[in-house]
Structure 1
Amino acid sequence: MADWKKNSLHDLHIDSYTAQGFGLARLEGRVVFIPGTIRGEDWTVQLLKVQKNIAWGRGVKLLTPSPARVEPDCPISGKCGGCQYRHMTYEEELSAKWDRVNDALRRLGGLDLELPPVLGAEDPLRYRNKVQLPVAQGKNGLSIGYFRPRSHDVLDVEDCPLQPLAVTRLREAFKAWMEQWSVPAYDEGTCQGLIRHLYVRTNQAGQSLCCVVANGKKLPQVPELVDALRAAEPGLIGLVLNVNQADTNVILGPEYRTLWGQDFLEETLCGMTFRLSVPSFFQINWAQTQRLYAQAVDFAALTGQETVLDLYCGIGTISLALAQKAGQVIGAEIVPQAIEDAKANAERNKVENTRFFCGDAGAVAAQLAQEGVRPQVICVDPPRKGLAPEVPAILASMAPERIVYVSCDPATLARDAKRLEELGYRAVKVQAVDLFPRTAHVETVVLLGRKFEKSRDHVYLDYEPSAEIDLPGGATYSEIKQWIQAEYDLKVSSLYVAQVKQKHGIVERECYNKPKSENAKQPKCPPEKEAAIEAALKHFKMI
């Protein structure tokens, strides 16, 4: 039995990767995670943290290197928590991400889908259009850079291969200003000090917007700071102060003041212009976002007639891309400022076939369903935690023809796709897009279509009563089905109507709720059809 304890050494073979980008090895059936390793390699590994069946280790000696191993192009690779894949070729990174998405869809989602190669970036460098640099005073002086992995220890990073050179120049000038005027950095332990973060946005036009996050409502020597930043970066168009005096890990506080210039910049995406303030959400990789949204629009298969519901719409980027090919698009987002930005972006781009609502995705979808809004396509782009537990059933109850799911986490995507499968929506297409080269993150788009009622595995019965029967409220089976067809564009069987009626205590003939033979399998009414039938029964005052 292997020595399973902290600091013990073991020669291990790297089998695969974790979702976090670590190499994964096995020691007598137990799992060991080792950062900085590549599958196929053999390492001498020191165990650093040991649990019952899982351990985290450190590679201390490379015994058999992989052909995919390269010299990292960053001097602090491995020390900084920003990148996980700088020690391997980009081709191996894309392969690792393909494996991650494919494994999640099959193992967690139970989906048998053909996953095409990941759409990689033409240039995996200098793509981040938003950078947030923590500021701290350490033993070796002032540090402005990035956190070490799983800590709040700030590394002083002069340059990062993922950030535009404009950020590098602004950081250098800002650090010199702090040192020249003895401006104190914020201390998380004591909640004292002033400067918490340096935040920079950039756009394709070469402009920059700089924000200083401070534990106070004023900055000293503002004219000198403006002069220093403008001299370092001619493309700077604005300097904003964000006030964050809370004892929290949240970066931005609630209050903003414009110290110089303008408090926003504009960016083009999918042929449209978006105005971005400091707190606005916008994907950080411009080129790959264009490919991601193009994939979502392609999966939506719009003809110009459809009503599209875009949940988690943010500032309306996907909504406006969809609106170019849809009849109308309804966007929903829980952040009030984002909805205001979405409305302004629609007006700015003269897009008139959009509406935006502020509210929780599930609540807005439920409200629209109650109002009888029947979208043919629903697009969702939820946060990393995926859809809230109640949302899949609400989506299914609206009976769209297609659901386009844009995801930043393959695991929660697979979980939600499995839930939607149970509600009558089968995943039919998938495409992964690498928005975050050199990191472990990957975006995925999945198309889910409404399943047909007939399948090879079941015999679905759809028979009509031998005679129309007058029901309470005066509605016949045909009238109920015709009403549902007109209101919901949804076909339901008499069997399903009978099942829902029986659920609500409306029973005429027992045979309506039974299959015609003992060997036939009788399906249960799907949730979205049950909701439509109940709406019809209420309409005809039967319940």
Structure 2
Amino acid sequence: MKKNECFPMTADRLGADLEGICIHEGMPVFVPGLLPGEGADIKIVKAEKRYAFGRMESRPDPVSPDRREPDCASYPRCGGCTGRHMSYEATLAAKRQQVEDCFRRIAGIETEVLPILGMDSPCGYRNKTSLPAGGTAEHPVLGFYAPRSHAVIPAETCPNAMPPANDLAAAFLGWMKAFRVEPYHEETRRGLIRHLVIRVNRKGESMVTVVANGSTLPHQQELIDALVPLGTVSLWLNENRAVTNVILSEKFHLIYGRETFTGRLFDLEFELSPASFFQVNPVQTEKLYQTAVDYAELKPTDLLCDVYCGAGTITLTMARHCREAVGIEIVEPAVENAKRNAVLNGISNVSFQAGKAEELLPRMVNDGLRPDVICVDPPRKGLDPAVIRAMAQAAPERIVYVSCNPATLARDAGLLRDEGYQVLKVQPVDMFCWTSGVETVVLLSQT
């Protein structure tokens, strides 16, 4: 099989990115947009030794009953979603299958994966939208990067964005056009506007961060006048002159309004700064955290340890159900946010420690930390082996593992099995509708 060759193929199943997987002459071929049972002429765009990537050159025939007309003009050129050509129910089934496949293939664990918790209305759910700028001073655009590139695909509206994010983006783009504010160009490193980052809370307030290749913005008052009527209570300039793919630098300048605004989960409020991490889908986050609370089965006498606690959202949610909660987080500003959030919500039975989990948790366990329940919510790379060893040494009754990556989750579940912990429950949650991303909560208990 070689690049540019074309073959008729039929998709057997979906891959981890909701792409169709065809088997041609024994080799898997990954084809975006093709659904199981659909056939098409497939052109090979990249061929490796053990697999290949293809592109549909004809309309699918037959057409899957799960196929639907995408409801976004930028799809599929925009890299934000991978499943808008499918019914929502089909995306949920694919994500549940992905979790099940990872446990079986990676860890050799046969376990029931519960039906995924989806959204009643899977639109307008993202409370944070990051839009790269492109185009020219005369014709600037805001949008999203095309898959595997830095080409900006214009997006006038995003159906995933929580209101009023789309209106704010339109107002900002109008300001750029009116005053010919030049977008940044990576090739020449010239231009000013790199990204627009919009955070929205459930009250309709917004925190807007303009990421710029400079320390000031022209016509700042006009920008304030355009955004404030739409609910902006905090406007920041993030100065990022570095040659980097990282959106935000550490240099923030407050242009207007408050330094923070609040996000809400359940009856708790969380103070957010421009760099704070906060789950992007508040409706589904409550389902995710409620599942974690239910699985923890905390008693009033229990000690909880929350590892990778971020700004303390899970820690504070669980703290009201136990005697004491301890949070561990590597990002020091997040720890400071967590401490302020505890005060903001009147929760006094918590403490937070800043440091690397793989260094701090083993030291705390060696010093006598023996939690009844450990909750972990690691980054995509999963748990460091030192964390797993320390968890086993601490010997909690239950471990609640919250994961955004089914592959590393399954790997770690296998390692924890070797330490004497059995997987009892697996609950996927659809936090990122129309994408391939899936969050999962797993309960493990001592065997």
- Report the residue type matching 1:317 in the other structure: T
The percentage of counterpart residues that share the same residue type is 45
Once the two structures are overlaid, the 10-residue window that deviates more, 328-337 or 55-64, is 55-64
Deviation of 1:179 (Å): 1.7
CA distance in 2, matches of 1:271, 1:170: 27
CA distance in 2, matches of 1:264, 1:39: 47
Q: Secondary structure, in 3 states, of the residue corresponding to 1:390?
A: helix
- Report the residue type matching 1:371 in the other structure: D
CA distance in 2, matches of 1:364, 1:52: 43
Deviation of 1:211 (Å): 0.8
Q: Secondary structure, in 3 states, of the residue corresponding to 2:291?
A: helix
The match for 1:77 is 75
CA distance in 1, matches of 2:224, 2:438: 37
The match for 2:392 is 396
Confirm or deny that 1:183 pairs with 2:181: yes
Structural mapping, 1:128-527, within 5 Å: 128-137=126-135, 141-231=139-229, 233=230, 235-451=231-447
Question: Deviations along 1:345-372, whole A, 9 cap, x unmatched?
Answer: 0011111110100001121211211210
In the alignment, is the contact (CA less than 8 A) between 2:288 and 2:429 conserved in 1? Answer: yes
In the alignment, is the contact (CA less than 8 A) between 1:209 and 1:263 conserved in 2? Answer: no
In the alignment, is the contact (CA less than 8 A) between 1:9 and 1:47 conserved in 2? Answer: yes
Deviation of 1:165 (Å): 3.5
The match for 2:49 is 52
Question: Deviations along 1:470-511, whole A, 9 cap, x unmatched?
Answer: xxxxxxxxxxxxxxxxxxxxxxxxxxxxxxxxxxxxxxxxxx
Deviation of 1:293 (Å): 0.2
Q: 1:42 aligns with which of 39, 47, 58?
A: 39
The match for 2:109 is 111
CA distance in 2, matches of 1:11, 1:168: 41
In the alignment, is the contact (CA less than 8 A) between 2:136 and 2:183 conserved in 1? Answer: no
- Report the residue type matching 2:265 in the other structure: L
CA distance in 2, matches of 1:79, 1:263: 36
CA distance in 1, matches of 2:184, 2:445: 51
CA distance in 2, matches of 1:433, 1:156: 30
The match for 2:8 is 11
In the alignment, is the contact (CA less than 8 A) between 1:142 and 1:156 conserved in 2? Answer: no
- Report the residue type matching 2:373 in the other structure: V
CA distance in 2, matches of 1:146, 1:263: 27
CA distance in 1, matches of 2:135, 2:427: 44
In the alignment, is the contact (CA less than 8 A) between 1:432 and 1:443 conserved in 2? Answer: yes
- Report the residue type matching 2:6 in the other structure: L
Q: Structure 1 length as normaliser, TM-score?
A: 0.81
CA distance in 2, matches of 1:218, 1:38: 48
CA distance in 2, matches of 1:165, 1:448: 38
In the alignment, is the contact (CA less than 8 A) between 2:74 and 2:154 conserved in 1? Answer: no
- Report the residue type matching 2:49 in the other structure: K
CA distance in 1, matches of 2:140, 2:47: 35
CA distance in 2, matches of 1:140, 1:5: 43
Give 5+ residue unaligned stretches, structure 1. 452-543
CA distance in 2, matches of 1:362, 1:230: 44
Deviation of 1:230 (Å): 2.5
Change (3 A) 1:139 1:89: farther
Question: Deviations along 1:77-117, whole A, 9 cap, x unmatched?
Answer: 11110001100111111110011000001111111211111
Q: Secondary structure, in 3 states, of the residue corresponding to 1:254?
A: coil
Change (3 A) 1:138 1:6: farther
Deviation of 1:138 (Å): 5.6
Deviation of 1:390 (Å): 2.0
Once the two structures are overlaid, the 10-residue window that deviates more, 304-313 or 187-196, is 187-196
Deviation of 1:141 (Å): 3.3
In the alignment, is the contact (CA less than 8 A) between 2:305 and 2:326 conserved in 1? Answer: yes
CA distance in 2, matches of 1:230, 1:353: 38
- Report the residue type matching 1:165 in the other structure: P
Q: Which has the higher contact order (CA 8 A, sep 6+)?
A: 2
Question: Deviations along 1:431-483, whole A, 9 cap, x unmatched?
Answer: 000000100000001111111xxxxxxxxxxxxxxxxxxxxxxxxxxxxxxxx
Q: Secondary structure, in 3 states, of the residue corresponding to 2:164?
A: helix
